[in-house]
Amino acid sequence: MANETLVATERTKKPKWLRVKLPVGKKYTELRGLVDKYKLNTICTSGSCPNMGECWGEGTATFMILGNICTRSCGFCGVKTGRPETVEWDEPEKVARSIKLMNIKHAVITSVDRDDLKDGGSIIWAETVQAIRRANPNTTLETLIPDFQGNEKLLDRIIEVAPEVVSHNMETVRRLTREVRIQAKYDRSLGVLKYLKDNGMRTKSGIMLGLGETEDEVIETMKDLRNVGLDVITIGQYLQPSKKHLPVKEFITPEQFKKYETLGLEMGFMYVESGALVRSSYKAHKHAS
């Protein structure tokens, strides 16, 4: 991909296609005011998502449950690693109220990994979906779940509450998985997505580029995901959260992202979101329809 990337060095500035427009618009301003007033917890704000203005303008927001301390230490992720806090059993109702206050049309729910819990957090996951349904019957849902260590009984809890979309991110190609997702396994994640699809879920996954993968490896990952019946794939540019995290090895050009989009649609994916600023929740509302 020598002609399709910009090699990143410490002196390399982000290319112009990674410049983010400041969020604007009446809907964004209203939601921002509610988030600040009621101290609502969204990944959109805590993660400084570049698409926040666009997503909020379309009535979509992402919420994180089960705390903000993860039991895993992935090389790409800015979430703190350590010993998580005690589970808040009233959290499902809090999230449901937040969604109602913000009048969210489509909500994405995600979480840290909770390998410290026997149920992996799956009970809170299911109760959160149920609470949102009760308080917001017209809101569609995507659950961006951890792998639950491949435990099918835990995955069944997600399947039973039937969110419109179930997402689990592969994050990277097979060769880089051990470096990028230290405690995760490439084939286990594929198995999770296959199990979800075999049980009637609309499935989704995302990968990041710029970590040193080759074009052939990206295409191989796309084929692997399509072979387990994946419906929706997101492909975006990895950006280093801090100097302690894995460095960006290259900036992928808009032309290369477009190439992956075309290839993905030819492979039969229902939706392909491919671009430098694409994140897991990008245009998530349309993936539920």
Structural domain boundaries enclosing 16: 5-287
Please state the residue numbers annotated as binding site for [4Fe-4S] cluster: 44, 49, 55, 70, 74, 77, 281
Task: Report d(CA 210, CA 220) in Å as an integer.
Answer: 16
Please state the residue numbers annotated as binding site: 44, 49, 55, 70, 74, 77, 281
Whole-number pLDDT of residue 22 = 62
Question: Letter for the amino acid at 239?
Answer: L
CATH code for position 233: 3.20.20.70
Count how many domains the chain has. 1
Per-residue pLDDT 10s for the chain (289 aa) are 434 455 554 445 788 888 766 666 777 677 777 777 766 666 666 555 676 767 777 778 888 899 877 777 776 676 677 888 899 899 999 999 989 988 899 999 998 888 889 999 999 999 999 999 999 999 999 999 999 999 999 999 999 999 999 999 999 999 999 999 888 999 999 999 999 999 999 999 999 999 999 999 999 999 999 999 999 999 999 988 788 888 999 999 999 999 999 999 999 999 999 999 998 888 888 999 8
Whole-number pLDDT of residue 18 = 81
Structure tokens at 185: 């396994």
Whole-number pLDDT of residue 32 = 72
Q: Report pTM.
A: 0.87
Whole-number pLDDT of residue 283 = 82
Whole-number pLDDT of residue 10 = 44
